[in-house]
Amino acid sequence: MSRDPFDGLTAFLIVADQASFSKAGRLLGITSGAVSQAIAKLESRLGLPLFQRTTRRVALTEAGRALHNRLRPAASEIADAIESLNQFRDQPVGNLRITVPRIALPIVIEPIVAQFRRDYPEISVEINVEDAAVDISTRGFDAGIRLGGSVEADMVAVRLTPEITWSVVGSPAYFAARGRPKTPEELKSHECILYRFPTSGAIHRWEFMNKERTFAIDVPGKVITSDSLLLIALARRGVGLTYSADVVAEEDIAAGRLEPVLKSFFRKTPGLYLYFPARMQTQPKLRTFIDTAVKFFKVAR
For 131-168, the pLDDT digits (tens) are: 887 888 888 899 999 987 778 888 899 998 888 899 99
Helices vs. strands in the chain: H and E counts, helices first: 11, 15
Q: Quote the pLDDT of residue 127.
A: 94
CATH of the domain at 147: 3.40.190.10
Q: Are strands 51-53 and 58-60 parallel, antiparallel or unpaired?
A: antiparallel
- Model-level pTM greater than 0.85? no
Q: What is the pLDDT of residues 226-284, one digit of tens each?
A: 988 899 999 999 999 999 988 889 899 999 999 999 999 999 988 899 999 887 777 88
My answer on whether 112 and 201 are in the same domain is no
Mean per-residue pLDDT, 33-38: 92
My answer on whether 142 and 191 are in the same domain is no
> Is residue 39's pLDDT more than 90?
yes
Is 53 contained in some domain? yes
Is 82 contained in some domain? no
My answer on whether 16 and 63 are in the same domain is yes
> Containing domain of residue 212, as a range?
164-269
- Looking at 86-90, 173-177, 266-270, 273-277, which range is the least confident one? 86-90
CA 68, CA 46: separation in Å to the nearest integer? 14
Q: Quote the pLDDT of residue 197.
A: 87
Is 148 contained in some domain? yes
Q: Quote the pLDDT of residue 1.
A: 44
My answer on whether 98 and 237 are in the same domain is no
My answer on whether 151 and 282 are in the same domain is yes
What's the total number of domains in the chain? 3
My answer on whether 181 and 107 are in the same domain is no
